[in-house]
Structure 1
Amino acid sequence: MLPDPERKLHRILLNYPSHKQGRMPEFRLLEAKTGRSRKDILLGLKYLEDHFYIEWPDKTTTQGIKVLKDDNDPPPARKSRSNLDYWTY
């Protein structure tokens, strides 16, 4: 689970209308949407990259950011061993 500031930044990147065409929001827009400074946004992007949520090859711009996974990926399915598991989990 991501910390709240990083989760918000990740959701903005994920839901940005044209992220599928390779265009990401600029730093000015991220500052306006998150209410954070550029320094804090850079730290958040670095955190997301370190935890493999995004790929960010060019650190001077946001245009090369690729979202690798969604924060809401479902957990792996568990196989039920008995009827008791149904009632206890």
Structure 2
Amino acid sequence: MLPDAERKLHRILLNYPSHKQGQMPVFRLLEAKTGRSKKDILLSLQYLEDHGYIQWPDKTTTTGIIVLKDDNEPPPAKKARSTFDYWTY
């Protein structure tokens, strides 16, 4: 599970309308959407890259960011009960 600031930034990057065409929001837009400074955004982007959520080849711009995975983990699967269990309980 990601910390709140990183999770918010990751959701912005993941849901940005044109991220599928390789365009990511610029730093100014990220500052407006997150309410954080560029320095904090850079730290969060580095955190996301270190933990395998994004790939960020050019650290001076956001245009090359590739989102690798979603932060939502699938819920643990429930153990299925057999019909035999029904009759024994």
Whole-angstrom distance in 2 between the partners of 1:26 and 1:20: 15
Q: Report the TM-score when normalising by structure 1.
A: 0.85
Q: Residue type matched to 1:61 in 2?
A: T
| SS of match in other structure, 2:7 | helix
Deviations 1:26-74 (A, max 9, x none): 0000000000000000000000000000000000000000000001131
- The answer for the alignment partner of 1:69 in structure 2 is 69
- The answer for the alignment partner of 2:8 in structure 1 is 8
Whole-angstrom distance in 2 between the partners of 1:82 and 1:10: 37
- The answer for the alignment partner of 1:58 in structure 2 is 58
Aligned residue pair count = 82
Aligned Cα RMSD in Å?
A: 1.6
Structure 2 segments unaligned to the other structure (5+ residues): 83-89
Whole-angstrom distance in 1 between the partners of 2:26 and 2:75: 32
Decide which structure has the larger Cα Rg and report it: 2
Q: Identity across aligned pairs (percent)?
A: 80
- The answer for the alignment partner of 2:31 in structure 1 is 31
